[in-house]
Structure 1
Amino acid sequence: MDWRTWRKHERERIIAERLAVPSAHSRQWSAAISILLQQGFPSLRQKKIGLYWPFRGEYDPRPAVLDFMTTGAVLALPEVIGKNEPLCFREWWPDAPMRMGAYDIPVPHETRCVEPDALIVPMVGFDQKGYRLGYGSGYFDRTLAAFSICPLTIGVAFELQRLENVHPQLHDIAMQYVITEAGIFQAGRKQLERIPANQCAKDNTTG
């Protein structure tokens, strides 16, 4: 089986499993991820944060980042502006004007464009080195490649989405961190390494 076919099958399998998760479990896992995000990345309170509108059973980052917004963070949601173009991040707040964008996902309507300092990135799957399995369109990889200075990248997912290897290609870009309900994991070595939230917070404050 070639890697494209394998990814397609894994994508369909994981999405089906994610949608089948009982709502009580999903809420519990999401609450754990939100706590880890807030404890491990307090530096986000003063940053421009690119996030996403949850889709097909994904973790919802909005409750966690709204807390960052109260202390000065600027929030932005992605907009698809062209099939082979990087995403445009538009400023978002709870009462921002919205419209339906690509894939029927809401996007801010003509709010200002923002270049994020940090990205909270959805993942269909992820592997032991921090590479993500997305929906197959390549938007996030193109977007990351277009930044002059790479933002902090935090992939978020449930443990059931973990894979041994997503068979990354040359254009794929690994996440710097992955958060699941089981903890915060740092990439950059041979495999993801779990780190305490307080250590993560220190690393991202000092470096």
Structure 2
Amino acid sequence: MDNLLEWKKQQRKHLIAAREAIPAEIHQQWSRAITGFLKQGLQQTQKMIIGIYWPFRGEYDPRPIARYFLQQGAILALPEITGKNEPLCFREWSPDTPMKSGAYGIPVPLETPIVRLDALIIPMVGFDQHGYRLGYGSGYFDRTLATYERQPLTIGVAFELQRLDSIYPQAHDISMHYVVTETGIFRTKDHQLMPASILQDTPQ
């Protein structure tokens, strides 16, 4: 592709607009389905440290599944942007955690402990048939994952209307172990998304 950056810019614009245009009732229906698949897929979460995110621009809202994980004994964390070209740091979070306004106006925990993750639920602007994620273009999640000697379990979440044939991944792009949409769980195997029923700890 001659101008990949421009193509990705246009795809982001189109996909975010499409996501923001989803009617509220449909968005809630699809979100409930994703929550159900995450419950089905991640059943052994006691003492697991799971990174989530604060919803932005029509993204799937992970707070309902967060409450479920907390009930199951998991430790949850939210990302904080510490610098333009820095990896994210993840701070412990629960619904009663004091919050402050972070980058882009997104709430972040106020001075709670920084943790290392066992699993990470990642929002996606788009995704492709090979398990690669199209993000907002800042590279925060890719830089963060590159700091881990042993990768946390990565679970990309999106709606099916965000699926692309390819995002034309570059060397720094890291594919998701799993993708969850309103239609089900998909595992990245041999560089292809395949239907799955669980989100196991060490996918091959």
Normalising by structure 1, we get a TM-score of: 0.94
**Percent identity between the two aligned chains:** 59
2:29 maps to 28
What root-mean-square deviation, in Å, do the aligned CA atoms of Structure 1 and Structure 2 show?
1.5
Q: Deviations over 1:99-130 (max 9, x none)?
A: 00001100001111011100000000000011
Q: Deviations over 1:116-152 (max 9, x none)?
A: 1000000000000110000000000000001121100
2:124 maps to 123
Q: Partner letter of residue 179 of structure 2?
A: V
Q: Does 1:90 align with 2:82?
A: no
Matched positions, count: 203
Q: Deviations over 1:28-70 (max 9, x none)?
A: 0000000000101112343100000000000011111211111
Contact 1:53 1:77 in 2 (8 A): yes
Q: Which structure 1 residue ranges, 4+ long, deviate > 2 Å from structure 2?
A: 43-46, 203-207
Q: Does 1:102 align with 2:103?
A: yes
Aligned partners of 2:203, 2:144: CA distance in 1, in Å? 26
> Which runs of no fewer than 5 residues in structure 1 stay unpaired?
none
How far off is 1:205 after superposition?
9.0
How far off is 1:183 after superposition?
0.5
Query: For 2:195, what is the secondary structure of its paired residue?
Result: strand
Q: Partner letter of residue 164 of structure 1?
A: D
Aligned partners of 1:142, 1:71: CA distance in 2, in Å? 30
1:114 maps to 115
Contact 1:59 1:157 in 2 (8 A): yes
Normalising by structure 2, we get a TM-score of: 0.96
Residue correspondence of structure 1 range 33-44 to structure 2 within 5 A = 33-44=34-45
More helix per residue:
1
Aligned partners of 1:142, 1:158: CA distance in 2, in Å? 24
Aligned partners of 2:149, 2:4: CA distance in 1, in Å? 30
Residue correspondence of structure 1 range 60-99 to structure 2 within 5 A = 60-99=61-100
Contact 1:41 1:204 in 2 (8 A): no
